[in-house]
Every structure is written in structure tokens, then in C-alpha cells.
Structure 1
Amino acid sequence: MLENKTLLKIKDKKNLLAFSGGADSTALFFLLLKHNIPFDIAIVNYGVREQSKEEVAYAQELAKTHNLKCHIFNAPKIEQNFEAAAREIRYNFFEELILKYKYENLLTAHHLGDRFEWMLMQFCKGAGCAEIAGMQKEQNRGIYTLIRPLLHLDKKELLAYLHADEKIYFEDESNLDEDIKRNAFRHNYSLPLLEKYLGGIKKSFEYLDEDRSQLVEEIEIKTVEELAYFKSSQNRRADIFAIDKYLKSKLYMLSANERELLKTEITIVAGRKFLVVQDRGFVFIAPFLQEKAEMPHKFKEECRVLKIEPKLRPYLYKNQKAFLKVKELLATV
């Protein structure tokens, strides 16, 4: 079931599997074992369902049985915006483990249904080919590679595999809650369409991936401290796609309004967290600092001469290496 090209990328590597005990990650767990892929598992307990204790115990049991490490994180209580907060907690935990234990790949159990419902949600918000293509099988995130080995498989194929081998897995009741937008799309639109047109949908994603590779220029994003920067491609959509991709790696999703602003504005503040500056052929992305730091005259004069965006100056003042890099780049213009 796993593709050979994916197996070659994870064979003989240090892999960390994002595990939940649900059907998708359990199927991936046993498929990795079947192909003798080395990996450990990581699970987050959000403490909102009684069943989560059983899921953690199951993860520990599987790890012990197969001589794997099982990393567990008990998340603090989430007061609001559960999905976004849970995602941030989850990926922060994974990245801490990756740094500590030197994992090379993070494996997630996203499958075709996840990709299709995401595509439908983007399409309904307003999106181009690159956004509609959505999740990719492989994504370089700097210190590790995010790999989705199941992206070509439908949920019912995974369930058939689990049932054939009588594997234990858990059902998350929150997946039935249609007040959650993603669940509403899944039950009302993506699942019925996948049921009727699975072969055609698989083929369409193959075409989309081919088209995306031709349409979207891969832009190398460099970093100095927490400043990310790249040379503009002179194609605004390609630049926005690169900005979006980088911010996703920082667990921030651009809103539709922010995407629109990036088409016309030189500077935007995204989610009160990030500052994006498109200036004289370069794009800079930095943490947004709201406080007004006392900056010496010499620093302010250098910024004035180089015409550095005022909102970027507080961050640059506190981060000398980033300031030197911006000076170096803008001095060449």
C-alpha cells in the first residue's frame, strides 16, 4: 500500500510517527512495521475525552511490544479555538522531539480524504491551482521533512487493511461533530463524492501535482535568527505561496483577507504575530514586536537612510545579526 518512492525516503532514516490511536495513524503504524521502517511514536493527550487515556495506554503498549520509543505529552487545557491551538501544541511537541532526538522525518497519517476535504474548503473560500493542490506528500521544513505516506489512499482502503488483520484502533467521537467546519465538509461533501468518484479524484490529484510543479516556482527561504527572507521571484502569486508555506511551517495559517492584502500592500501584520515586508525585490518575514523600544539615534539614522520599514525596526534593533543581513541585502539595491 505504501509507495516505493516514499519507502526509499524513509528507509534507514530516523522517523517520528505522529500517532493518535485512530484508524489512520494505526494503519500507518502497522504498514511501517510491515516494511521494516525504523520509527518511534509521539502522542498528545489533550485531556478532553475519557477515551484519550485508553489511546495513550494503547500507544505505550504498541511501543513496548515492538521495542519503540513512545513520547507522550499531556497538553494544558485549551480555552478557545481548540483546533488551531491543538495543532500548535502538537507540532511544537513534535519539533521539540525532533531537535532533541535528531529525527530526520515526521510522518503523519493524512490520507486522500483529508486532502480532498481541504481542497473543497479552499475552493469554496477562493483559491488557485497551487492552493487547491493542497497537501503534498513531502515538505521540507528546514530541520526535518514532513512526509505523508498515506496521501494516495482513501480512508476505506485503510479500514479494509485494519479489519483484514483485525487491528485495534479507536474512533474519535469529535469527528462526528458537524459544528466543526472540516467535519461538515467531510460528511456532507467529500465522503459522498469519494464514494462515487474515487478513481477520478485520485487521477485529478495526480494531474494537480504535475501542474503545480510547473506553475509554482520553488523559492529558497533563508533565515537569520527568527528573520526569514528571500529574493522576490517577481511573480506576486509565487511570492505569496512561499510566504504562506513558510508561515504554515511556523504553525500560522494566512487568512483569505491577508492573502488579498499581500497582493497590494508592501507591509502586512499577520495575526498580530508576524510581519511580512515586500521591499525592493526582497521579502522579509519576522516576529511582529508591538512594543516601542528606545532606539539610539545611530540605529534610527541607518534605518532611515536604508528606508527600512518602521514596523520592522523594533525587531531588527533587538536582533543584531538580522539587522546586519537586512542592511547587506538592501545596500545592494
Structure 2
Amino acid sequence: MQILNIDHEILDFLRGRKNLLAFSHGSDSTALFYTLLNLGVKFDCAFVNYKTRENSDLEEISAKELCDKFGVNLFVKTAPLNLENSGDFENTARKIRYDFFDEICAKFGYDTLITAHQLNDKFEWFLMQLGRGAGLANLLGFEKIENRTNYAIVRPFYNVGKTQILDFLSENKIKFFNDISNENTKFARNAVRAEFSDKFVEKYALNLAKSFEFLSIDKANLMGEFIYQKDKFFVLENSQKSLNLIDKACKILGVVLSQNQRKEIQKTDCVLSGKICVCKNEKFYFVAPFEKTKMDKKFKEKCRILKIPPLIRPYIFARSEILAECEGLISGLDHSDFVDKIGEI
């Protein structure tokens, strides 16, 4: 069987890990299923049935048959949605999907979530963000390997065009299902795909993939790095680069920022989506999951001296090692000088 190319960095990353494939039985995830099999990458599958199409149940049955045939475990979630009455269908479906993936990865210890995002998807995102007036940090969308809090998202087809995928399926006579909702141009992504992106990628796929590689390097240089990071806690410099790194930290914690949330961050300390707190002082931004807990007076006074914002304190209070590791950094003093300064508390 002819296989599609996956770069060696991704293959090395996947081998020896416990992998979960987000599987819809559409063209992209089906091609990825067979490609991973033929490259010797072990994985299980997760399938969400939204009941939005006549073929939804047939797709689920076929997915089960395919996984049984090759000895692959399959996790299924049924989550009926109405295309017309579900509000923002794409975001609702995405939340259901990723909540399901999070649950499986946590319960069964998967190290990676493999998705079938490909070059056309990346270019669609680029054009949509360009049309919204986004900067470089938000134009590029997904990376080939993206570390989250509890697992990494890996996208082996990040530089593979849709035409290559369809050719692979056709030449190998592999069964897959078309999602007719992808033809509904009331969804912005579908409209961009139909009017602009697919024809462009088909003609310029190779050079487009190279351009995205170069732009990713530029993006990394532009964004800078976290001053301190431990598990779900991030400290970064309060500077012109802050918003880009805050965006990255929030993605790692499972929240994709909206334009309104970006504006809110710049105005005040806040809790985003009820999950993540973003706070700042004159020198630093702090990002961590939002928690509530009672704190003793000694700890509060130490935070006051360090100018650690109140919203972020409960997360640190429950994890004393964080404060011990970064107190000198935050205070701008050597550890011994800092201890002398707060010794009487």
C-alpha cells in the first residue's frame, strides 16, 4: 500500500507513546488511520456521533468494524446536535469533542491526541484570521506538535494537502464517509474553503508548506519565552509580547482566546471561561487555572510583598513548591536577600 509521508520528528515522537486518534471516518482521519497502521504506530480511536446526518450511525458502525478488524480500541460518545438550532454549531461540537478527548486521556493515560488536521485546514484558518485583522501570532493556527497540560496534540498531516489525501484513498480503494455539512457555506470555514483555499492549496501546496515552516520560526522568535513555567502555572514578562504568550499558555490549558477576552486581559485581572485566571503587576503576567481556597495571613503577606495578584494566589497556595522556586525571580532579589526581607513575617 502506498503511504503518505509523515516527518521523522513526529514519528519519533509517537513511537513508544500511548496514542489516541480523533477519528471521524471522514477522508482525513481515515487516511491517517491507515497511514499510522502502515508505519507501525500503535494507537486507539475516539469517535463522536453528533447524529447530524442520515449516515451518522452508519459511520459509527463502520468505525467499529474497522477498529475491530485491526485490533484497535474504539471509544464512542453519542452527543446529538441540531445543525440549525445549536447556536454556534462548530464551537459547540468542538467543545463536546475535546471534553471527550480530555476525559479519555485522563482516565486511560494517553500521552498524545492525534488529529487529522492538514494543510488545507491550516490555510483556511490563516485566511479566516487574516480577514479578521489578526497578527502573526494568531494567523498560523495549529503547530505539528502542541503540548497541553495532560497530553500533547500531534498533527501528522500538518503539511499534507487534501488532494494528496484523496489520491491516497482512491489509489488504495479505501472506504470513507463525506460529511455533507462541510458543503454548507453558511459556516465561515466552509465558505473560505469553497471560494478561496482549496484551489490555492491544490496549486501551491509544496511552497505553502515551506512558507508555514518559515513563519512558525518567525512566530517563535516573536512570541519569546515564559520566564517560569511549572505544570499549569506560567509567569511571563509584562511587555509588548505578553498577549502572544498568554494566548499560548491559555491554549496549553485548553482555552482558545476570543478577541473580547484578549481585550479584557489588557484592561484588568480576570477569569476566562470560568477556568483560567490571568493577572498582572508592573513587571509580570501570571496565568494559571482559577481556584478558590482559604489562605493564611502569612502566605497573603508574602504575596503582598511579592506583588502577586489576589486572583492567582489560591493556585500557588496549594502548591508551595511554585512559590519556593520562583520567589527570587518575581522579587528581583537573590533568594537569600528575599528571605531576609520577609524573615519577620
TM range, smaller chain: 0.7 to 0.9
- 1:171 alignment partner in structure 2: 178
Deviation at 1:152, TM superposition (A): 0.6
Q: Which amino acid aligns with 2:283?
A: G
Q: Give the equivalent residue in structure 1 for 2:29.
A: 25
Q: Which residue number corresponds to residue 120 of structure 2?
A: 113
Tell me: CA distance 1:265–1:330, structure 2 relative to 1, closer, same or farther (3 Å).
Answer: farther
Using the TM superposition, give the Cα deviation of residue 246 of structure 1 relative to its aligned residue in structure 2, in angstroms.
2.7
SS at match of 1:169: coil
Q: Aligned partners of 2:254 and 2:191: how far apart in 1?
A: 23
User: How much has 1:87 moved relative to structure 2?
Assistant: 1.3
Partner of 2:283: 281
Task: State the TM-score, normalized to the length of structure 1.
Answer: 0.84
Q: Is the contact between residue 148 and residue 253 of structure 2 (CA under 8 Å) also seen in structure 1?
A: no
How much does 1:199 deviate? 3.2
- Equivalent in the alignment of 2:49: 45
Question: What is the alpha-carbon distance in structure 2 between the residues aligned to residue 300 and residue 140 of structure 1?
Answer: 31
1:222 corresponds to which of 218, 225, 230:
230
**Take 1:196 and 1:299, find their aligned partners in 2: how far apart are those partners?**
64
Structure 1 pair 214–273 and aligned structure 2 pair: CA distance change class (3 A):
closer
Amino acid at match of 1:275: C
SS in 2 for 1:221: strand
Letter in 2 for 1:282: F
Q: Structure 1 328/150 Cα, relative in aligned 2: closer, same or farther at 3 Å?
A: closer
Structure 2 partner of 1:75:
79
The amino acid across from 1:101 in the alignment is F
- Taking a change above 3 Å as real, the CA distance of residues 150 and 324 of structure 1, as seen in their structure-2 partners, is closer
User: SS of the counterpart of 1:54?
Assistant: helix
Answer with 48-57 or 148-157: which moved more. 48-57
Q: 1:251, CA displacement in angstroms?
A: 3.6
Tell me if the contact between 2:125 and 2:141 (Cα under 8 Å) persists in the aligned partners: yes
Aligned match of 2:341:
none
* In structure 2, distance between residues paired with 1:308 and 1:15: 38
Aligned in 2, Cα 1:61/1:283: closer, same or farther, shift over 3 Å? same
Instruction: Report deviation, 1:76.
Output: 5.5
1:203 to 202, 210, 213: 210
Report the equivalent of 1:133: 140
**1:96 paired residue number:** 103
**Partner Cα distance (1:261, 1:296) in 2:** 27
Shift of 1:53: 0.8
Query: In 2 relative to 1, CA 168–279 (structure 1 residues): closer, same or farther, beyond 3 Å?
Result: same
Q: CA deviation at 1:325?
A: 5.2
Partner of 1:240: 243
Q: Indicate conservation of the 8 Å contact 1:231/1:281, yes or no.
A: no
TM-score of the pair, normalised by structure 2: 0.81
Q: Does 1:85 align with 2:92?
A: yes
Q: Which residue in the other structure is 1:257 paired with?
A: 260
Q: Where in structure 1 do 4 or more consecutive aligned residues deviate above 6 Å?
A: 303-306
Moved more, 149-158 or 207-216: 207-216
- Contact 1:16 / 1:105 at 8 angstroms: preserved in 2? yes
Query: What count of residue pairs does the alignment treat as equivalent?
Result: 321
- Cα distance in 1 for partners of 2:162, 2:283 equals 44
Question: Structure 1: which 5+ residue stretches go unaligned?
Answer: none
Separation of aligned partners in 1, 2:295 and 2:140: 48
